[in-house]
Structure 1
Amino acid sequence: MTDNAQTIVDTALRTAPPAELEPGKYYAFHTPGGIREVDLTGDQHKDQPTRKTGTTTVRDAQSFLAYWDKHHDTASEVYADSDRLTITAVLDAHQADSARWAGHRLHLALRETTAWKQWLRLDGELMDQEAFAEFLEDHLPELLEPAAADMLEIAQSFQAAQKVDFQSATRLTSGQRQFQYVETQTTKAGQKGQLTVPETFIIGLVPFEGSEGYRLTARLRHRIGQNGLRLGYKLERPDEIRTTAFADVVKAIGEQIDVPVMNGTAA
């Protein structure tokens, strides 16, 4: 192209009236620098996205069902993973005769309650009398049998028996344990006494936020040594309770939706 012809083209391009481009279409233009492409097919050029995408995370079954009711269709799928304590819905899952994006998901990630974590953290650990008594006092709402008032009295008894020398512990036929001690305080030195506590006690815990409560048995643990009396508890099969609690969440969701809850993880 001659210089004169190029000048004519450049002038024509500069003086051409502006043209409005339509969203949702793809354009290509010849320019002096080559072909220029303009892509207006993306969602950012539309009033609303072409399809739903993203993963919404909820923390309880009720929230899961609320989101599910709003967004699912007949091809949506649900998966439960007991190892990860998660339930995932693929809301735009593949259909039987066609593929879909599988990019719109609902994820239930259960969180353990503070009380559950605190009881599990000290499970099998031995504490001094004061620490054990304070733990019982801090967790009175979870103590079911004996009643919280009785357990508070036991905790206060341990706090009062600080200046004593524990010598033995005997298991009684009543299912309690009796600790024998000798006073070491100056005014009461040599006086003997005893402290009776339950061998087992029942606690009520909610494993996950928004889930039901469950009863657990805790067995009293103790050790009498050079550092005096140390106390603790051992929970009976807490892992089984945790597994049952997750299964109950899966069941509660499965009863309210019209598709099976599959055991596994979504692709």
Structure 2
Amino acid sequence: MTLTRYENTVSSDLNETQAVIDVAQAAVAPQPLEPGKVHVVALGRGEFRQIDLTGPEHTGIPARKSGTTVVRDVDSFLAYFDKHGDEESEVYADVERLSITAVVDAHTSGYPRWGGHRLELRLRQTPAWSAWTSMDGKLMSQAAFAEFIEDNLVDLVEPDSATMLELAQSFEATTSAEFQSSQRLDSGQRRFLYTEDVQAKAGSKGEITIPSTLVLALAPFEGTERYKVTTRFKYRLDRQQGELRLGFKIERPEDILTAAFGDIRTLIDSTVPMAVLNGAPAHR
């Protein structure tokens, strides 16, 4: 009986102590929990709860950098990489897609990282390059060809723009003429003979000579230097109709794109602290 009374006394004392604690806790004014920390909250009667407020939904700060940023020129690529990259970042050059990708938080040799923060240089072709390549290999009427040359005189190197403007005006002035023959000259140029007034007994005759090639200066991608581009004149003369159609063929345009991309890769490779890898990063 004595032991039982002792146990009852201890239990009673504990209950009274807990009651005092509960009363003290109830008397404390509620306090806001600070974001960014892990808190332990007393619930009373010896119960506690852990509350984790370190997540981004509480702090407003992402747990890590993630996402893919797309830029259009080398300067923008290097500026972003200089801000976020480190010596463990990886850079890949994909010549098939004409793009360069940096995995800013790539795995290190000692421990893995997320690989979810990326930077991609997606090259965009210039309007001038698109204009010439869109007409590559296509034959146009005299008027359409003359208009195209006039609209793109700034890209011409050989013959110069003044010479090509004169040639374009000659084609515009002879749209109603009947072209009868063509002759290849020793210089490689081609001479076309025409008659302007085919109704007259002796029509007014004339000739137009075109160069065998055109040399252009074009920047394939935005933010790059201009490259030498050689085109060969193409034509088709319908002697029955007296109709002349003109165009040009760009010599190996894919090689120019590859060379321009190679120069971009070399520039980035000489600036970032790691070697640029040939290929593409692993899929996430």
Q: Counterparts of 1:240-259 in structure 2 under 5 Å?
A: 240-259=255-274
Cα distance in 1 for partners of 2:206, 2:29 equals 105
Cα distance in 2 for partners of 1:152, 1:181 equals 20
Which of 33, 36, 42 is matched with 1:24 structurally? Answer: 36
Cα distance in 1 for partners of 2:223, 2:273 equals 22
Which of 74, 79, 84 is matched with 2:92 structurally? Answer: 79
Q: Compute the displacement of 1:257 (Å).
A: 1.4
Partner of 1:4: none
Larger Cα-atom Rg: 2
Cα distance in 2 for partners of 1:15, 1:103 equals 48
State yes or no: 1:238 paired with 2:253: yes
Q: Counterparts of 1:57-76 in structure 2 under 5 Å?
A: 57-76=70-89
Q: CA, structure 1 residues 36+229, in 2 after alignment: closer, same or farther (shift >3 Å)?
A: farther
Q: Counterparts of 1:102-181 in structure 2 under 5 Å?
A: 102-181=115-194
Q: SS state of the match for residue 127, structure 1?
A: coil
Q: CA, structure 1 residues 124+188, in 2 after alignment: closer, same or farther (shift >3 Å)?
A: farther
Q: Is the 8 A contact 1:165 1:182 kept in 2?
A: yes
Structure 1 unaligned regions, length at least 5: 1-11
Residue type of the alignment partner of 1:123: D
Cα distance in 2 for partners of 1:38, 1:83 equals 51
Q: Compute the displacement of 1:223 (Å).
A: 0.7
Describe the superposition over 1:43-71 as per-residue Cα deviations: whole angstroms up to 9, x where unpaired. 23226434322221111111111111111
Cα distance in 1 for partners of 2:63, 2:156 equals 54
Cα distance in 2 for partners of 1:147, 1:254 equals 37
Describe the superposition over 1:124-172 as per-residue Cα deviations: whole angstroms up to 9, x where unpaired. 0000000000000000010000111100000001001122100111110
Comparing 251-260 and 130-139, the one that deviates more: 251-260
Structure 2 unaligned regions, length at least 5: 1-22
Partner of 2:225: 212
Q: CA, structure 1 residues 66+98, in 2 after alignment: closer, same or farther (shift >3 Å)?
A: same
Cα distance in 1 for partners of 2:94, 2:111 equals 26
Cα distance in 2 for partners of 1:89, 1:108 equals 9
Q: Is the 8 A contact 2:129 2:218 kept in 1?
A: yes
Higher percent of residues as strand:
1
Q: Is the 8 A contact 2:178 2:198 kept in 1?
A: no
Q: Is the 8 A contact 1:183 1:189 kept in 2?
A: no
What TM-score does the superposition give when structure 1 sets the normalisation length?
0.87
Q: CA, structure 1 residues 109+227, in 2 after alignment: closer, same or farther (shift >3 Å)?
A: farther
Paired-residue identity, %: 52
Q: Counterparts of 1:223-234 in structure 2 under 5 Å?
A: 223-225=236-238, 226=241, 228-234=243-249
Q: CA, structure 1 residues 94+188, in 2 after alignment: closer, same or farther (shift >3 Å)?
A: farther
Q: Compute the displacement of 1:204 (Å).
A: 0.8
Alignment RMSD (CA, Å) = 2.6
Residue type of the alignment partner of 1:262: L
Q: SS state of the match for residue 140, structure 2?
A: strand
Residue type of the alignment partner of 1:158: F
Residue type of the alignment partner of 1:62: D
Q: Counterparts of 1:92-107 in structure 2 under 5 Å?
A: 92-107=105-120
Q: CA, structure 1 residues 222+95, in 2 after alignment: closer, same or farther (shift >3 Å)?
A: same
What TM-score does the superposition give when structure 2 sets the normalisation length?
0.82
Residue type of the alignment partner of 1:241: I
Q: Is the 8 A contact 2:68 2:120 kept in 1?
A: yes
Q: Is the 8 A contact 1:113 1:207 kept in 2?
A: yes
